[in-house]
Amino acid sequence: MLRIAKLPIAIFALFIIVFPWIARQIPAIGNYTDIMVFVGIYCLITIGLSLLMGYAGQISIGHAAFFGIGAYISGVLTAKYGMNAWACMVIGMTVAAVVAALVGAPSLKLKGHYLAMATLAFGIIVFIIFNEEIEWTGGPDGMSGIPGLSIFGFEFDSVERYYYLVWGFVLAAFVFTVNVIQSGTGRALRAIHASEPAASAMGVNVSRFKILVFVYSAVLASLAGSFYAHYLNFINPSTFDLFFSIKLLIMIALGGMHSIWGAIMGTGLITFLSYEWLRYFEEFEIIVYGVILLFVTVLLPDGLAGVPKIVKGWFRRKVSDER
Amino acid sequence: MEKITLASQLLQYLITGLTVGSVYAMVAVGFNIIYNVTEIINFAQGEFVMLGGLIMVFLHVAMGLPLILAFPATIVLVTVIGILIDRLAIRHIRHPSVFTLIIATIAVSIIIKGMASFIWGKDPFDLPAFSGRNPINILGAVIQPQYFWVIGFLVIAAIALSIFFDRTIIGKAMSACADNADAASLVGINVKQMVLLSFALSAAIGAVAGITITPISLMEYDRGAMLAVKGFGAAVLGGLGSFPGAILGGLIIGSIESFGAGLIHSGYKDAFALIVLLIILFFKPSGLLGSTEISRIKRF
Amino acid sequence: MRLRRFIILATICLFGIGLLVSPAQAFKGSYKVGAVFAVTGGASFLGDPEKKTVEMMAEEINKAGGINGYKLELIIYDTEGDATKCNLAVKKLITQDKVCAIIGPSLSGTSLAVIPVAEQYKIPLVSCAASYKIVYDEKTGKPYQWVFKTPQSDSMAVEALYTHLKNRGINKIAIMSVTSGFGASGRSELIRLAPEYDMKVVADEKYGPKDTDMMAQLTKIKGIVPQAIINWSIGPTQVLVLRNWKDLGMTSIPFYQSHGFGSRENIKMAAGAAEGVAAPLGACNTPEALPANHPQKNVTMNYLNSYTAKYNEPLSSFGGHAWDALTLVVKALKAVGCDKAGIRDYIENTKNFVGQHGIFNFSTEDHNGLTWEQSFNMITVKNGDWVIIK
């Protein structure tokens, strides 16, 4: 608990606070705050997913489903039944938690590719439900008319207001998750990742911890989904498809599996690449995207989070060469 | 038109399920080859199938090469692409974890898909069927003659590969790489070459699948992902690494989709297949024909 | 070292020359129009021809001196059919690129995702997607103020089809649809309008956009023996379903396709199975089949000729939606200049605009401006070519 590096988090928080101001000063990046809202929303998912994958060592190719569950519960209950948006958010998280526990309990007994397939199947099944239950979800064309968020009459109706709302939650989730990692729970998770039989022999209740982390990551994804729905005022199933689940994996892999910082960097990089920077390549965009991804996996096996280590390694080698 | 009998309908569902399933099985077999050597699931497997179909269209339809020449030429070209993937990408990953390798294959599949959309555009292409398009009638149900080619190649590939991996020295050496790469190289197996060989083999199988199914299903640049997902499902259901398992898994998934669409609800047919897959996995965590002991040794 | 300096110098000189040479025509300024199309991704069959069409049109307009001496400057963003990306692109067009009006998006889903943005920022948006929800606010029962669309609604295609079926005494129908936005939207209109035309839907089957075989669904329909099959899909599935229909020996049950079938490529690909199949198609799908006195004959033939000459590929009728949208915006710019409210009012009051997909009459109540009678013909395939059913 004591070893939390407070300084980097403070610097990061400061950066988040001043970012919209910077973006406003430079016309060329005026829309970056808008993109950062989505980075924040996706960070909520990848922070949880990174705990699940990087620390507990459990793969999931189905997290788009939890993202979608949050979005659709918020969307349907507020747009069709006029319920309070914050209450719907909590309902969404509860439902996501229950679903995660029900799916996770049998699935997390599976290993490796079998777990990957099980979560992938779960994700596709949920996607099909979004597509098919047209009465509720509006089907493939999606549902519109989802209201924005407000609290005590304060409307989160501009890009910047929503930005601060979302990033406030991201920072809270971040600090909480880092705390978890540095607590006994975090040690238990790492033990599970290293060797399940060994962890079990040490008295770690392996399956309970795995399900707990799975549920936690699902709840965060559901929260992200609610924020997404209220920001766009619209949702459709293709946002929550298999390819989004894979994109989440890519964000985590790119950032570095074993670091929450990596997850945030990977999320930011992939989001900006696919929503803004690669736009200039037009038809080549998809190829450039693939090439960047391949280069990172080949050159940086530990992702962006591994860059400092590599730089240090160069430096050390240089020093030893000089000797 | 006279009304079709229920018996013929059921037979038609079965035939449709088996034929569609044989396509999934073909992809699953390709997955298993690379899995058996490297433990990774090569998500670019579907792209091999797509390339097989589209390169065949190019050689056979656009260039006018006769079938007997275009067929092996396509396989060779796709195999070369498989080898290039290993040489240019997979081999260079330092301290590869299974997860990094999977991400790398996803990256490769994105690149191949992007290139294909450049070369062939986004429209689907057709290929003439090998033995005509007149459907064969069996007790009121029909089947396209092309499906016999698909099933024939599938059976030949599965038998040949099973023998190759179980009986030949190279095959056994390849399997050894997956169990323990360090030990394998200690006993003198060139692990890198074995991995290369596995990519070449599975690319070739993918090409065969693509060539044989294009006359039935058409082919376009973004078909690969769907085939990869279905094939992955089939491979997992049958038990990763097992060739008979891949066939069994493919046929089961195809049949559930077909019967589900015909008898219950066609909108949910894919979901039915996946639910059955999940239930089976919960009771048999290593798939139908997979061995629990072997899966325990695997890193992933 | 000297060589490098030389190369740098030469490059600078070349750029300088390029700058001097390029403005061949002097414009007073430019009118910026934004466009958001699904150029790549799963819906590229819509966005790709749309982008090519508007690029061709802008080139022609600027060659002819622009709009009242102003250059038409198109800013096109690719949405990949993704709602998030489309939403971001539209906001960027408005706040950063400061465009006068926006055409697109290509899909109903992405259009619905940007309606709140257009309404909030008060910018005219002419969508190229079909759903009636784009121009119908369920809360007020009226069109959204700033949003228009050029494609016919699916309901119009369904009305054209049902009228045709009713005239032939058909009332027992089987529906097949693909589980994408296009198929789902058509399916719900088919079911919604069935009672109005005394149609009984005896089967409602679906398949995925990447499915390779629809034998199971058709076999089920074969057991029910409807009087006609209506299929609503796009892409390879609409061809595969025809082949399966023929293989199963079901040709005695008439087969109808949606207005997404209007490409000659589909007839070819069906390998003989398309013969006798009918579909409600817009004028733009079949310009050659139109009689010489048809009001849209000239407009559609010109488009067909210039598009095929420029791109050397068959014309897709989806590009026609973008043609209609951009032409409307250009007309408005010509009349009122870059005045957003003025453009909106101009489009809303446009009457008798002869476009690729019909003759448009907009009003405060109708932001689509089409009726099915003048925007669809029933067309059948005969000897591998389109023929109008009288």
Q: What is the pLDDT of residues C256-272, one digit of tens each?
A: 999 989 888 889 888 88
Q: Which of residues 13-52 of B touch A (CB under 8 A)?
A: 35, 41
Q: Which residues of A touch C133 (CB under 8 A)?
A: 141, 144
Is the distance from CB of C325 to CB of C353 less than 8 angstroms?
Answer: no
Region for A81 from its dihedrals, namely left if φ exceeds 0, alpha if ψ lies in -120 to 50, beta otherwise: alpha
More confidently predicted of A9 and A77: A77
Q: What pLDDT is attached to residue B238?
A: 94
pLDDT band at A303 (very low <50, low <70, confident <90, very high): confident
> What pLDDT is stored for residue A2 in this prediction?
41
pLDDT of residue A1: 39
Strand partners, C359: C354
Taking a C-beta distance cutoff of 8 angstroms, is the pair B100, A253 a contact? Answer: yes
Same-fold call for C29-152+300-372 versus C154-281:
yes
Tell me the per-residue pLDDT of A120-142, one tens digit each, with 9 for 90 and over: 999 999 999 999 999 899 899 89
Task: Give the chain B residue nearest C243 (alpha carbons).
Answer: B216
Statement: residue C314 has pLDDT above 90: no
Per-residue model confidence (pLDDT) at position C4: 58
Return mean pLDDT, chain B: 90
HEC string for A134-150: HHHHCHHHCEECCCCCE
Half-sphere exposure of A239 (CA within 13 A, CB side): 29
For tokens 């973004």, what's the residue?
A: B222
Residue A92 CA to residue A226 CA, distance in Å, equals 8
**Mean pLDDT over residues C29-36, rounded?**
94
Amino acid C194: pLDDT:
96
Chain C residues closer than 8 Å to A31 by CB: 88, 91-92, 95-96
Which residues are C360's β-sheet partners? C353
What b/e sequence results for C101-138 when a residue is b if at least 16 CB atoms lie within 10 Å of its CB, and e otherwise?
bbbbbbbbbbbbbbbbbbeebebbbbbbbbbbbbbbbe
Nearest CA-CA partner of C37 in C101, C110, C118, C94? C110
| Nearest Cα to Cα of residue A148 among C121, C117, C173 | C117
Split at pLDDT 50, 70, 90, the class of B300 is low
Distance CA C121, CA C98 (A): 11
Domain at A6-283: CATH architecture: Orthogonal Bundle (1.10)
Q: Between A95 and B183, where is the model more confident?
A: A95
Close Cβ partners of B175 (under 8 Å, ≥ 6 residues apart): B36, B37, B165
pLDDT at C1 over 50: no
Q: Which chains does chain B touch, 3 or more C-beta pairs < 8 A?
A: A, C
Residue extents of the structural domains in chain C: 29-152+300-372, 154-281
B103 interface with A at CB cutoff 8 Å: yes
Token pair of C236, please?
Answer: 């390879």
Q: Alpha helices, DSSP H only, in chain B?
A: 6-38, 45-56, 67-88, 98-120, 146-167, 169-179, 181-186, 191-217, 224-238, 243-259, 269-283, 292-297
Task: Give how far Cα C201 sits from Cα of B68, C188, C205, C266, Å.
Answer: 48, 12, 11, 26
pLDDT band at A94 (very low <50, low <70, confident <90, very high): very high
Q: For the purposes of burial, counting CB atoms within 10 Å of the CB of B2, is it exposed (0-12), middle (13-18) or buried (19 or more)? A: exposed
Closest partner residue to A233 (CB to CB) among C116, C138, C183 is C116
For A235-281, the pLDDT digits (tens) are: 999 999 999 999 999 999 888 888 889 999 999 999 999 999 988 88
pLDDT band at residue B299, thresholds of 50, 70 and 90?
Answer: low
Q: What is the DSSP letter of B287?
A: -
Region A160-178: what's the mean pLDDT?
A: 95
- Of A4-13, A51-60, C28-37, the range with the lowest mean pLDDT is A4-13
* Those residues with Cβ within 8 angstroms of residue A207's Cβ, 6 or more apart along the chain or in another chain: A105, A108, A109
Please name the residue that has the structure tokens 């109005």.
C196
| Across A6-10, A33-37, B243-247, least confident range | A6-10
Q: How far is CA A156 from the centre of its chain?
A: 22
Say if residues B227 and B25 touch (Cβ distance below 8 Å): no
Query: Which range among A235-239, A303-307, C106-110, C190-194 shows the weakest confidence by mean pLDDT?
Result: A303-307
> Which chain B residues have a beta carbon less than 8 Å from that of C235?
124, 220
pLDDT digits (tens, 9 = 90+) for C232-258: 998 889 999 999 999 999 999 999 999
- Tell me the domain boundaries of chain A: 6-283
Alpha helix ranges (H) inside chain A: 6-25, 32-50, 63-81, 85-107, 112-132, 134-137, 159-182, 184-194, 196-201, 206-232, 242-255, 260-275, 285-299, 307-322
Strands C101-103 and C125-127: parallel
Report the gap between the CA of A130 and the closest CA in chain B (Å): 11
- State how far the Cα of A137 lies from the Cα of A132, in Å rounded to an integer: 8
In the sheet with C125-127, reading across from the earlier edge strand, the strands are C70-78, C29-37, C101-103, C125-127, C147-149
The ipTM estimated for the assembled molecules is 0.91
Window 115-154 of B, Cβ < 8 Å to C: 117, 122-124, 126, 133, 135, 141-142, 144
Q: Does domain C29-152+300-372 have CATH number 3.10.180.10?
A: no
Rounded to whole angstroms, how far apart are CA atoms A58 and B95? Answer: 20
CATH code reported for the domain at C154-281: 3.40.50.2300
Cβ atoms A53, A252 nearer than 8 A: yes
Provide Rg for chain C, Cα atoms: 23
- Alpha-carbon distance of A169 to A151, in angstroms, equals 15
Structure tokens of B3?
């009304």
What is the structure's pLDDT at B177? 83
The set of chains that have 3 or more CB pairs under 8 A with C is A, B
Question: For testing the chain B interface, which of A298, A299, A300 should be mutated: the one with the most B CBs within 10 Å?
Answer: A298
Å from B11 to nearest chain A CA? Answer: 27
Q: Reply yes or no on whether the pLDDT at C39 is more than 60.
A: yes
Chain A: closest CA distance from residue B39 (Å): 9
For residues C94 and C104, give the distance between their C-alpha atoms in angstroms, rounded to a whole number.
Answer: 14
Residues of A in contact with B232 (CB under 8 A): 117, 120
For C44-81, what is each residue's pLDDT tens digit? 888 999 999 999 999 999 999 899 999 999 999 999 99
Give the C-alpha separation, C55 to B26, whole Å. 43
Q: How many residues does chain C have?
A: 390
Residues of chain C numbered 48-77 and touching chain A (CB < 8 Å) = 77
**Residue type present at position B263:** L
Q: Is B129 helix (H, G, I), strand (E, B) or coil?
A: coil
Tell how strand B141-143 and strand B136-138 pair up: antiparallel
C-alpha distance from B248 to closest chain A C-alpha (Å) = 17
Q: What pLDDT does residue C9 have?
A: 60
The encoded tokens of residue A159 equal 């890009």
DSSP symbols for B65-103: --HHHHHHHHHHHHHHHHHHHHHHTGGG-SS--HHHHHH
List chain C residues with CB under 8 Å of A125: none
For the whole model, what pTM was predicted?
0.92
Q: Residues B68-118: pLDDT tens digits?
A: 999 999 999 999 999 999 998 888 887 777 788 888 999 999 999 999 988
With CA atoms as reference, report the closest residue to A72 among A5, A128, A142.
Answer: A142
B19 SS3 class: helix
Give contacts of A 142-171 with B, CB under 8 A.
Answer: none
Which tens digit of pLDDT belongs to each residue from A135-168?
899 899 899 999 999 998 899 989 999 999 999 9
